[in-house]
Amino acid sequence: MNRKHYTKNFIILGTIAFLLIIPLLSSDPYHLQVLMVLLLNIILAISLWVIMTVGQLSLAHAAFMAVGAYTSALLVMKLGLPFWLAMPASGIMAAILALVIGSITLRLKGAYFLLVTFAFGEIVILIFSNFWESLFGGVSGLIGVPPPDPISIPFIPQVRFVSKVPLYYLALSLTLITVLTIYRLKNSRLGLTFGALKEGDLLAECIGIDIMKYKVMAFTVGCFFAGIAGSLYAHSFVVVTPIDFSFYHSVYILIYVVVGGESSFLGPILGASVLTLFSEILRKFGHYESIGYGIALILVMLFLPSGIISLLERIIVKVQELFKRIKG
C-alpha cells in the first residue's frame, strides 16, 4: 500500500513540477491558452465532484460559473473594484445563490433536483442574454474585461498581467488552491459526513445527520468554486458571452467527472485534463469534433466503467510489478 502511495505522490509532484516549468518550455500563446482552459476545467470538475459526493447531480454548474464571471467583470468594469476583491466576491455571489436555490430545492430527490438545476441554468443564461441589456450586454455579452491588476509579491518583481504567462501562473495557483482545499475537505469529518449522505439518506438520518444541511453545504461549496472559475475565465479571456456558459458546458463538466472516475478524488482532475486535450486535438476536424468526442465517451464507458482513473491505477500496479521483477 505504501509503495503505491509513493508512486502516486511521485506522479502528482512530477505533474505539478511539469506544469510549473511549461512556460519555460513553450512560449506559444496557443499552448498556454489550452492549458488555462484545462486548469479552469479542473476547477469546475473537482467542484462539481463535491456536489456529487453527497449524491446529487447538477446541470447548472456552468450557470454558476456565469454568475461568477459576470459578477467579477461588472464589479471591476462598473465599480472599479480591483480584481483581487472581485474574484472572491464572485465566488461568494455564486455561493449565496446556491445557498438560496439549494435550500429550496435540495429536498427533491434524484432526477427532480437535476431538472431544477437544468431549468435554473437556462434561466440564468436567458437573463444574461435578454434582460438589463445595458448592464449585461445582451447576447454579445461583456467585451473588454480588464486583466487582473498588477500585484507585488515579495522577492520577485511586480507581476503585471500583460501576457499569457502570468495569467497561466494565476490559473495554476488558483487550481492548486482549489484542489488542495477540496482534498482537505474530503479527508475531514465533513467529507466523511458527505460520504454518508451519498451511501444512504435514510441511514444518515438514522444516526442523526441533518441531511438537508449537509446537502446544501456541499452544493454551496461546489458553486463557490464555480464562481471563482467564472471570475478567472472572465479576466483571462477578455470577453464574456452568455453562450459560453450554456447547458452544454454544464454537461461537459459532468462528463469530465464521470469519465475521469467519480469514485476517486483524482478522477475528475484526470477526466478534465484528458478530455480538454482530446477536444483540442479534435478541433481540427470542425463539425466532426463532437462525433469523435461521443465515440470516445462510449468507448470509455464500455471498457472503463469506473473511469480513466482505473486505467491509471492498473498501469501503476503494472509498473510496480515490473520494478519488482527488475530488482528481484
Q: Which residues bind other proteins (CB under 8 A)?
A: 192-193, 195-196, 199-200, 202-203, 205-210
Q: Using only C-alpha atoms, what is the Rg of the chain?
A: 20
CB of 8 to other proteins, least distance (A): 19
Q: Phi/psi at 142 (nearest 5 deg)?
A: -105, 125
CB of 204 to other proteins, least distance (A): 8
CB of 109 to other proteins, least distance (A): 14
Q: Phi/psi at 151 (nearest 5 deg)?
A: -130, 155
Is the Cα dihedral 38, 41, 43, 46 positive or negative? negative
Can you tell me the distance from the alpha carbon of 175 to that of 68, in angstroms, rounded to the nearest whole number? 16
Nearest CB to other proteins, comparing residues 209 and 296:
209
Nearest CB to other proteins, comparing residues 1 and 302:
1
Nearest CB to other proteins, comparing residues 197 and 229:
197
Are 118 and 59 in contact, with CB atoms under 8 Å apart?
yes
Closest CA to 68 of 266, 222, 173: 222
CB of 206 to other proteins, least distance (A): 5
CB of 205 to other proteins, least distance (A): 4
CB of 195 to other proteins, least distance (A): 7
Are 77 and 315 in contact, with CB atoms under 8 Å apart?
no
Q: Report CA 28 to chain centroid distance, whole Å.
A: 24
Can you tell me the distance from the alpha carbon of 305 to that of 314, in angstroms, rounded to the nearest whole number? 14
CB of 211 to other proteins, least distance (A): 9
Under DSSP, the state recorded for 156 is: S
Q: Cα–Cα–Cα angle for 70, 243, 19, nearest 5°?
A: 75
Q: Cell triple for residue 255?
A: 462528463
Is the Cα dihedral 20, 21, 22, 23 positive or negative? positive
Nearest CB to other proteins, comparing residues 215 and 249:
215
Nearest CB to other proteins, comparing residues 153 and 207:
207
Nearest CB to other proteins, comparing residues 230 and 267:
267
Nearest CB to other proteins, comparing residues 49 and 225:
49
